[in-house]
Amino acid sequence: MKVAVAAGKGGTGKTMIAVNLALALSAGGSRVRYLDLDVEEPNGGLFLSPSFEEEADVFMRVPVIDEARCDLCGDCARFCAFGALSITPRGSMIFPELCHDCGGCQMVCRRDAVTWEKRHIGIVERGRTPGGIDVIQGKLDVGEPKATPVIHAVKALADPLAVNILDCGPGTGCAVMASVRGADHCILVTEPTPFGLHDLRMAGRMVRDLGVDGSVVINKDDPQETSVRDFCK
């Protein structure tokens, strides 16, 4: 089972909920694996205190242009929707941080001038807590804009025999969608403020569009502020 814990904004207590859910399930006898998918700033390990014993690198492919074969036709640059390639009369330019590794530039090249090389974008660490909870976390390299490949690498290590707690990053962008997609349930953590309600609306639409069953935890609840509870009804 995969239970995602997400939030439309940062600072709502998402990781606190995810960590304590993992601890409670483990204390109740469940087999638990904690996957920290907030790869830009994973901090669940600060509370669970695992001993990390394994580390694996995560790479993406980026194109390499063989200038001897390239005739500067520009088909690859025109195909790339992300602007990762530029063809000028003097040659080709590649912007690795913009490449999404779709393979399209190689597909449209008529002279077989496009090959690939690997670019390091992050790591995945595996460990275990003194209480027996498996902890897997991803760490994105500093300055690297694309978190989803690291997230996919962490999710690939989910345990089919355990309750997998997916501690997602904040927001509703591509990285969070990649984290929540495929979960059996998603807990949205919010707070009783106008900002909390605004971002909960977006997160709720995201979960619904992904076809994932969801629920809401109102952290730091204020009995006088009913807007979030009214929305949930």
How large a percentage of the chain has pLDDT more than 70?
100
| Mean pLDDT value across residues 89-109 | 93
Residue pLDDT, tens place only, 164-193: 999 999 999 999 999 999 999 999 999 998
Domain ranges of the chain: 2-49+130-232, 59-120
| Mean pLDDT value across residues 53-66 | 95
Please give the CATH architecture assigned to the domain spanning 2-49+130-232. Answer: 3-Layer(aba) Sandwich (3.40)
Q: What is the pLDDT of residue 178?
A: 96
Domain spanning 59-120: CATH 3.30.70.20: yes
The pTM of this model reads: 0.90
pLDDT grade, residue 28 (50/70/90)?
very high
- Rounded distance between C-alpha atoms, residue 115 and residue 91, angstroms: 16
Place of tokens 């025109």: 78
The single-letter DSSP state of residue 132 is: S
176 near 169, Cβ under 8 Å? yes
Tokens of 92: 């080709």
Strand partners, 7: 170
Place of tokens 């907030």: 38
